[in-house]
Amino acid sequence: MKKLAAVFLAGIMCASLAACGSGAADDAASTDTQTATEETVEETEETADDAAAADTEGETAEAGEVTTVTEGILTMGTNAAFPPYEYYEGDTVVGIDAEIAQAIAEKLGLSLEIVDMDFNSIITAVQSGKVDVGIAGMTVDPERLENVDFTDSYATGVQVVIVTEDSDIASVDDLEGKLIGTQEGTTGWDYCSTDYGDDMVIPYTNGATAVQALLDGKVDCVVIDQQPALSFVEANEGLKILETEYAVEDYAIAVSKDNTALRDAINTALNELIEDGTVQGILDKYITAE
Ligand code: GLN
């Protein structure tokens, strides 16, 4: 119980300090931070109480038992230009990943802090202990598995192709010889470089800038994950998504290889949230059936 009390205190103190935890963001390029609200801390307190009760039954991840970069806080690295998984509403990062992370943090008796950074920096941030987790619609892939651990998967991702409405690209088979816009460091960028050669693939820092390049005629198409693709096509006139899919993948949470206790605790929490329908509820809130 002492440990739990310490966690509450750290959380409450953090909520009252506007700059809490921002040190992690200071030295990262183009970063932004967001701390938990008072309301979140109250919710956390309740959840931790529940967790303590359930703990005796051995059902829930043990609140306060995991070590995090900042005590009492789950620090999440993401790239908040990836709707509907993570994007800004005013100054706040919202979306599927933000809500799933919040639910996991509550189960672990932690408050959540989100650090926005380039997608390509997230794995390094997890490895170097700048953040606890990378939650960014991130695909489990063998190369990343050499550097970080992944939790169980919480969603499926599909790589699709965005073209202009008047494009002569009708299917994935027509991509040969075309200039392809991608997001740097993503699986889409990786597959396209392998399939069509580095010279034909232009990496942009995020999906929005890749789509802008397509609108400006600088690339012939953009390969990106399906849900952000739908958001970008909806927000911009004259674009469409090809019906053929490029690849189907699993999204999961990246955790440091040095913190397997955190990975295991997140897996326990995540699987509870999958089983009780919370994860599906969050996905349904942001993704409308076609
Ligand atoms: N799913 C893709 C990847 O993991 C893209 C993720 C993203 O851009 N946020 O590489």
What pLDDT digit, counting tens, does each position of 144-160 carry?
999 999 999 999 999 99
* pLDDT tens figures, 41-97: 333 444 444 444 444 333 344 455 799 999 999 999 999 999 999 999 999 999 999
Residue 208 has pLDDT above 50, yes or no: yes
Pocket of ligand 1, beta carbon within 6 A: 79, 82, 119, 136-139, 157, 183, 186-187, 225
> Which residues lie below 8 Å from residue 63, measured CB to CB, with a gap of 6+?
4, 7, 47, 48, 51, 52, 55, 107, 108, 109, 110
CA 119 – ligand 1 centroid, Å: 7
CA 98 – ligand 1 centroid, Å: 15
**In this structure, are residues 11 and 41 in contact, taking their beta carbons and an 8 Å threshold?**
yes
The least confident of 45-49, 98-102, 234-238 is 45-49
Residue 263 buriedness (CB in 10 A; 0-12 / 13-18 / 19+):
buried
Report the atom number in ligand 1 closest to the C-alpha of 157: 1
Give the residue carrying structure tokens 């939790």: 151
Is the N-terminal amide bond of 83 cis, ω within 30° of 0?
no
pLDDT of residue 168: 96
CA 138 – ligand 1 centroid, Å: 5
Each domain of the chain, given as residue ranges in start order, spans 73-154+252-286, 157-249
Residue 40 has pLDDT above 80, yes or no: no
In this structure, what DSSP letter does residue 82 have?
B
pLDDT band at 288 (very low <50, low <70, confident <90, very high): confident
Model-level pTM greater than 0.85? no
* Element housing 156 (H / E): strand 149-164
pLDDT of residue 64: 55
How large a percentage of the chain has pLDDT more than 90? Answer: 76
pLDDT of residue 290: 54
The pLDDT of 198-211, averaged and rounded, is 96
CA 139 – ligand 1 centroid, Å: 6
The least confident of 61-65, 101-105, 118-122 is 61-65
pLDDT band at 184 (very low <50, low <70, confident <90, very high): very high
Note whether 73-154+252-286 and 157-249 share their fold.
yes
CA 134 – ligand 1 centroid, Å: 11
CA 137 – ligand 1 centroid, Å: 5
Say which CATH superfamily domain 73-154+252-286 falls into: Periplasmic binding protein-like II (3.40.190.10)
Judged by DSSP in three states, 28 sits in coil
Report the atom number in ligand 1 closest to the C-alpha of 85: 9
More confident residue, 5 or 278: 278
pLDDT of residue 10: 38
> Which residues lie below 8 Å from residue 223, measured CB to CB, with a gap of 6+?
159, 160, 161, 162, 180, 181, 182, 188, 189, 191, 192, 246
Say which CATH superfamily domain 157-249 falls into: Periplasmic binding protein-like II (3.40.190.10)
Residue 202 has pLDDT above 60, yes or no: yes
Judged by DSSP in three states, 43 sits in helix
Report the atom number in ligand 1 closest to the C-alpha of 78: 9
Residue closest by Cα to atom 5 of ligand 1? 186
pLDDT of residue 65: 78
